[in-house]
Amino acid sequence: MSTGTGPSAIDRDRHPLDDDDHRRRCRAALDADGALVLEGFFTAEAVARVVADSAPREAEAFYAGSTHNVYLTPPDPDLADDHPFNRQVASSKGLLADDQVPADSPLRTVYDDPGFRDFLCAVLGIDAVHPYADDLSSINVHFASAGRELGWHFDNSSFAVTMLLQAPEGGGRFEYVPAARRSATGDMGFEVVDAVLDGAHPVETLSFEPGALVLFRGRDALHRVTPTEGPVTRLLVVFAFNDQPGIGLSDSALQTFYGRTG
């Protein structure tokens, strides 16, 4: 029986990472939609192993319950409180940091796999991916029990790599608005942000099952995860990479997200 570690954590029959045609199809889907869902990327055994390792440790997670604007920046005192730049939303997820992930976890084995990193580079259209230079940020396991959510926001990074580990009974939906802003041209998307926060703008839902790998370009796509409903905690892993080496979070950011600097 598979132990869920090493290459067996990935269903390589379904997802041949080194196949050029597969890579091209994945890149085309990501470029067209801003999102790529690879269902069944992790084997059922690997998912079960990670859930068994993680779920009992929910009490160890650091919960950074907070409000923030959708741009993840401090408010602008020169603007009104109800300006789209200053409107506040709630986020209340908890997480285990990289140094809390077991050394033999399938998550760590896959994160460090050169073939996996090469696949990401090919699909994302970048030369290399690098782990974070700090000890906390590279692999994070997120917990969202009943009522917890991830508020509307734009990502600071150009891409995100995540995998659902355990779905809740209700809620926990990934909702997004493509091209809500165009950061490259300085368009902040204030009108769209206001409409979304007022519930007056259509949103799309990205659906995926436990074990699915999701690549998402969230710098200009406004997105959130709705509050979890029911007794089952939503579990998700974030594989965090940079396209440049030696980049880590500042001590203040580490304190905010993890409650410690190391």
Over residues 37-87, the pLDDT tens digits come to 999 999 999 999 999 999 999 999 999 777 899 998 889 999 999 999 999
Query: Closest Cα partner for 97 from 156, 68, 138?
Result: 138
Render 158-181 in DSSP notation, one character per residue. S-EEEEEEE--SEE--EEEETTS-
63 in Cβ contact with 92 (< 8 Å): yes
Identify the DSSP state of 157: S
Q: How far apart are CA 221 and CA 172, in angstroms?
A: 18
* pLDDT, the chain, mean: 93
CA-based end-to-end distance of the chain? 37
Radius of gyration of the chain (CA): 18
Predicted confidence at residue 5, as pLDDT, reads: 39
Q: Is the per-residue pLDDT at 4 higher than 60?
A: no
Sign of CA dihedral 91, 94, 100, 105: negative
Percentage of the chain surpassing pLDDT 70?
A: 97
Q: How far apart are CA 240 and CA 175, in angstroms?
A: 20
What ranges in the chain are assigned the alpha helix state H? 20-33, 44-54, 106-111, 114-124, 190-197, 251-258
Domains and CATH numbers, the chain: 6-258 (2.60.120.620)
Q: What is the mean pLDDT of residues 186-210?
A: 97
pTM here?
A: 0.91
Residues 88-116 pLDDT 10s: 999 998 999 999 999 999 999 999 999 99
Query: Closest Cα partner for 84 from 187, 236, 229?
Result: 187
pLDDT band at 196 (very low <50, low <70, confident <90, very high): very high
Residues 69-82 pLDDT 10s: 999 888 999 999 99
